[in-house]
Amino acid sequence: MPRQTEDGPIEYGGVSRETPVQTPRSTVATFGAGVVLRPTAGYEDTPIRAAAARATRIRHPDGASLPRPAQRRVITVANQKGGVGKTTTAVNLAAALALHQLTVLVVDLDPQGNASTALGVPHDSGTPSIYEVLLDELPLRSAIQESTHSDKLLCVPATIDLAGAEIELVSLVSREARLKRALDDKVLDELGVDLVLIDCPPSLGLLTVNALVAAEEVLIPIQCEYYALEGLGQLLRNIELVQAHLNPELHVSTILLTMYDGRTKLADQVAEEVRSHFGEVVLRTMIPRSVKVSEAPGYGQTVLAYDPGSRGAMSYLDAGREFALRGDITVKRSISEQGVQR
Ligand code: ATP
Ligand code: MG
């Protein structure tokens, strides 16, 4: 008997028929090169058809473009806790916004280079990267690459060389503001960049401080797990310090709940607690725990490219829409005024 899987597709004898067959790092599977299948009446009457219809809607959003922000938004995706979904959020949110005609630059500021991998951007040692840009060895323009998925999705990759940057930056002039200086408005204007998303490493070191100085907004992904809120106070204190001394415009504009598992009470409790602490800053959309989301980077893809009909893809698409449509709702306030408990 076929059975429903976590992500919605029906499995026949262990093989999901929903997912297009792919080899690692292959190009995005297409639905008949340029052929757009429009759902007809009754089209979504089975789970497979419903998923296919969702995939078609994602791939061809009918020109549903999102409003361009009045001013370019620079957002740092930060949480010093490891593995909470920072990179997954940075790349998939960027992909969702790019699908809606916004031009997004992802700056990979983590020596692990996970964001570069997920965007299908080469990042072997020696590739022009954020490392050379931070050290003033290369201009920003020469390190920007187009993602294989979209010409609206740009990336400054990180190579393993960045691992040494925490130490090398220490002795440099204005070491905390290197990234801010590097994000050249003229270059970003020429490329028509609407949003910059900076993917931070899991630490509060000099790289993360650079990201906090370069941005106005902080997006904190919070995993719906026990311990999720532990360590958050330290992140918020750091944000407050940067706000007080280096970047008065900085504020937490967005919190996204990730890896939500609706089958557990714990996930609901964490979500409720986060909402009661942070209020309006928390996006209504939550990202479910989904196998497709975790598989996608292995193919050098975002989940929107890897399996556009999956729940993971849909939720990042929804999160992107919500994020863009509500804009930066937070007026600049101190972190404690934002209702944050520590
Ligand atoms: P790090 O701190 O190491 O940079 P991170 O905060 O960037 O980690 P990710 O790399 O995005 O976290 O995610 C950690 C792991 O969890 C990855 O293997 C990723 O594929 C997986 N993951 C992220 N989001 C989901 C999800 N919604 N469902 C299932 N797996 C997920
Ligand atoms: Mg990461």
Question: What whole-number distance in Å separates Cα of residue 155 and Cα of residue 36?
Answer: 28
Task: Give 79 Cα–ligand 2 centroid separation in angstroms.
Answer: 10
Atom of ligand 1 nearest to the CA of 81: 2
User: Which ligand has an atom closest to residue 91 CA?
Assistant: 1
If you measure from the C-alpha of residue 289 to the centroid of ligand 1, how many angstroms do you get, rounded to a whole number? 10
pLDDT of residue 162: 95
Is pLDDT at 278 greater than 80 in this prediction? yes
Measured in angstroms, how far is the CA atom of residue 110 from the centroid of ligand 2? 7
Distances (CA, A) of 250 to 42, 310, 312: 49, 34, 30
Please say if the pLDDT value at position 11 is more than 90. no
Alpha carbon of 261 to ligand 1 centroid (Å): 14
Domain map (residue ranges) of the chain? 67-338
Protein residue with least CA distance to atom 21, ligand 1 = 294
Q: Which of 77, 87, 299 best tests ligand 1's pocket when mutated (most atoms within 8 Å of CB)? A: 87
Residue 226 pLDDT level (bands cut at 50, 70, 90): confident
Q: Which residue has the higher pLDDT, 5 or 322?
A: 322
pLDDT (tens digit per residue) in 235-244: 999 999 999 9
Confidence of residue 173 (pLDDT cuts 50, 70, 90): confident
CB contact at 8 A, 237 and 342: yes
Is pLDDT of 10 > 60? no
> What span, in angstroms and rounded, lies between the C-alpha atoms of 73 and 320?
14
Class of the CATH domain delimited by 67-338? alpha beta
For residue 97, the CA-to-ligand 2 centroid distance in Å is 19
Cα gap 318→321, rounded to integer Å: 5
232: exposed, middle or buried (C-beta count within 10 Å: 0-12, 13-18, 19+)?
Answer: buried
User: Over 50: is that where the pLDDT of 39 sits?
Assistant: no
The alpha carbon of 32 and the centre of ligand 1 are apart by a number of angstroms equal to: 31
* Res. 22 pLDDT band, cuts 50 70 90: very low
Q: How far is the CA of 286 from the centre of ligand 1 (A)?
A: 14
Lowest mean pLDDT among 49-53, 86-90, 284-288: 49-53
Q: Can you point out the beta strands (E) in the chain?
A: 3-4, 10-12, 15-16, 73-77, 104-108, 145-146, 153-156, 195-199, 217-223, 251-258
The residue contributing the CA closest to ligand 1 atom 31 is 294
Residues with CB under 6 A from ligand 1: 82-88, 110, 114, 202, 258-259, 287, 289-290, 293-294, 297, 312
**Residues having C-beta closer than 5 Å to ion ligand 2:** 86-87, 114
Residue 154: helix, strand or coil by DSSP? strand
Q: Compute the average pLDDT of residues 321-335.
A: 74
Q: What phi and psi values does residue 278 have, to the nearest 5 degrees? A: -105, -15
pLDDT for residue 54: 64
Q: Which bound ligand lies closest to the C-alpha atom of 224?
A: 1
For residue range 246-277, what is the model confidence (pLDDT) as tens digits? 999 999 999 999 999 989 999 999 999 999 99
What's the pLDDT score for residue 35?
33
From 107, 283, 294, 318, mutation site for ligand 1 pocket: most ligand atoms within 8 A of C-beta: 294
